[in-house]
């Protein structure tokens, strides 16, 4: 059994699992395969059944099962502890991203907060349960997904498997009684969060030498007109489409622009990427259509945009069906300073599992304020508290 949750976390931080975020990059630090190998070996040493689900090259989901008493066949309960395996890139970090440092009651390193800290808590909890084998315990499945940071394809593939009710070496084949998705929530219980749809749109022009710009048609100028309308839509329209008591209002942001090949060439192409945050219950495709229809009515036909299909589309988490699970976790987390029922504006893997009919919440150590930062860290007391809460939750499930 590992000495501490911090030992496990430091092991995980030392293993790069960077999500390339759609960029054409190469290197051993990219993709999750080495973290998957580590988790598989860890779980096999505990005597757990393990299986992998291929999602993309070097990107496997992983399931590992610790059987309960009574077993599922005997009417026992079934709990899933879930975490994603990828991290965001390390550009601009001011610390060595894969050399974990234990200092001032914190573990520093890429992924320490989002979300290898939560994954380490899951693994340590499983190790305790495997070593002690409480007389009454549910079956616990560890579910590790890929590509959470840029598309949720791992969670989507895993949830589709659950919906098909396909059993396997580590998957019982039924619907879990509870799913706890690891994210940095400061030990509070996220019962609702926003969804997301992201897409790319283009303006097309005609290239020419910049000495004779009148012979061309500047795609960047065309996009400039469109951006004015995007800004109007974001500031005057989207926020009035609805409001949720826990997550607020929907939003839209244009976050990336690219165009042209050189300063002395009139550009024939310009592209922007749009981020639309959804309320729980909003349909991602309907949200994109609403924006497209608005823009179509505001731009002349000869300045129309070319919209690509979304490259990310994920629903929000609704605060319906997870009330009892949230309350049980909240009671256990309260003595540690957490336990509030909250909504958050960011997205997670959780909605894909909730759509299978399983009560699903988001819970874990650390603060979202430290996630993705240049000196990412997580507080050790939060890690230890999360382990204590999760172990007691499973023992009492």
Q: Any idea which residues carry the catalytic annotation?
A: 86, 148
276's CB contacts (< 8 A; 6+ apart) are: 196, 197, 198, 238, 250, 251, 252, 287, 288, 291
Quote the CA–CA distance of 124 and 383 in Å, as a whole number.
Answer: 10
- CA 240 vs CA 73, 120, 192, 235: distances in Å: 50, 41, 20, 9
In sequence order, the β-bridge partners of residue 6 are none
- CA 393 vs CA 2, 129, 141, 199, 323: distances in Å: 21, 12, 14, 40, 15
SS3 readout for 334-385: HHHCCCCEEEECCCCCHHHHHCCCCCEEECCCCCCCCCCCCCCEEEHHHHHH
Quote the CA–CA distance of 384 and 363 in Å, as a whole number.
Answer: 14
Quote the CA–CA distance of 201 and 274 in Å, as a whole number.
Answer: 8
Kindly state the tokens that stand for 106.
Answer: 């914190």
Quote the CA–CA distance of 334 and 322 in Å, as a whole number.
Answer: 18
Comparing CA positions, the residue from 157, 196, 144, 195 lying closest to residue 311 is 196
∠ CA 369-373-378, rounded to 5°: 60
Using an 8 Å Cβ cutoff, are 273 and 256 in contact?
Answer: yes
- Count the helix, strand and coil residues of the chain and give each as a percent rounded to the nearest 5: 35, 25, 40
> Which residue's structure tokens are 């860290």?
377
Quote the CA–CA distance of 375 and 392 in Å, as a whole number.
Answer: 32
Question: What is the pairing mode between strands 78-84 and 377-379?
Answer: unpaired
């Amino acid at each position: 059994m590992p000495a501490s949750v911090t030992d496990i976390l430091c092991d995980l931080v030392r293993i790069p699992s960077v999500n390339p975020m759609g960029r054409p990059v190469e290197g051993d630090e990219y993709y999750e395969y080495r973290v998957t190998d580590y988790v598989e070996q860890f779980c096999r040493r505990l005597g757990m059944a393990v299986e992998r689900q291929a999602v993309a090259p070097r990107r496997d989901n992983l399931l590992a099962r610790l059987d309960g008493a009574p077993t599922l066949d005997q009417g026992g309960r079934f709990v899933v502890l879930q975490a994603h395996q990828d991290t965001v890139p390390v550009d601009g970090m001011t610390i060595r991203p894969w050399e974990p440092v234990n200092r001032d009651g914190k573990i520093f390193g890429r992924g320490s907060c989002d979300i290898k800290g939560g994954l380490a808590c899951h693994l340590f909890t499983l190790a305790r349960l495997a070593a002690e084998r409480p007389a009454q315990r549910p079956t616990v499945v560890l579910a590790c997904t890929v590509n959470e940071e840029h598309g949720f394809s791992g969670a989507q593939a895993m949830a589709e498997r659950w919906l098909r009710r396909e059993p396997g070496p580590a998957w019982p084949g039924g619907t879990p009684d509870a799913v706890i998705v690891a994210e940095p929530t400061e030990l509070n219980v996220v019962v609702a969060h926003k969804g997301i749809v992201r897409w790319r749109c283009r303006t097309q022009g005609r290239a020419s030498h910049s000495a004779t710009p009148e012979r061309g048609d500047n795609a960047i100028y065309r996009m400039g007109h469109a951006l004015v309308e995007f800004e109007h839509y974001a500031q005057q329209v989207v926020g009035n489409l609805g409001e949720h008591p826990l997550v607020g209002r929907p939003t839209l942001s244009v976050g990336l622009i690219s165009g042209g090949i050189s300063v002395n060439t009139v550009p024939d192409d310009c592209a922007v990427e749009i981020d639309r945050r959804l309320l729980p219950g909003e349909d991602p495709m309907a949200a994109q259509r609403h924006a497209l229809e608005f823009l179509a009515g505001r731009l002349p036909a000869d300045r129309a945009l070319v919209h690509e299909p979304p490259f990310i589309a994920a629903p929000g988490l609704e605060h319906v069906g997870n009330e009892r699970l949230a309350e049980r976790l909240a009671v256990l987390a309260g003595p540690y300073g957490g336990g509030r029922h909250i909504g958050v504006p960011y997205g997670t893997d959780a909605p894909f599992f909730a759509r299978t009919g399983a009560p699903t919440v988001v819970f874990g150590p650390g603060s979202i304020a430290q996630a993705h930062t240049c000196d990412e860290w997580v507080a050790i007391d939060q890690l230890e508290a999360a382990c204590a809460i999760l172990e007691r939750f499973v023992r009492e499930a």
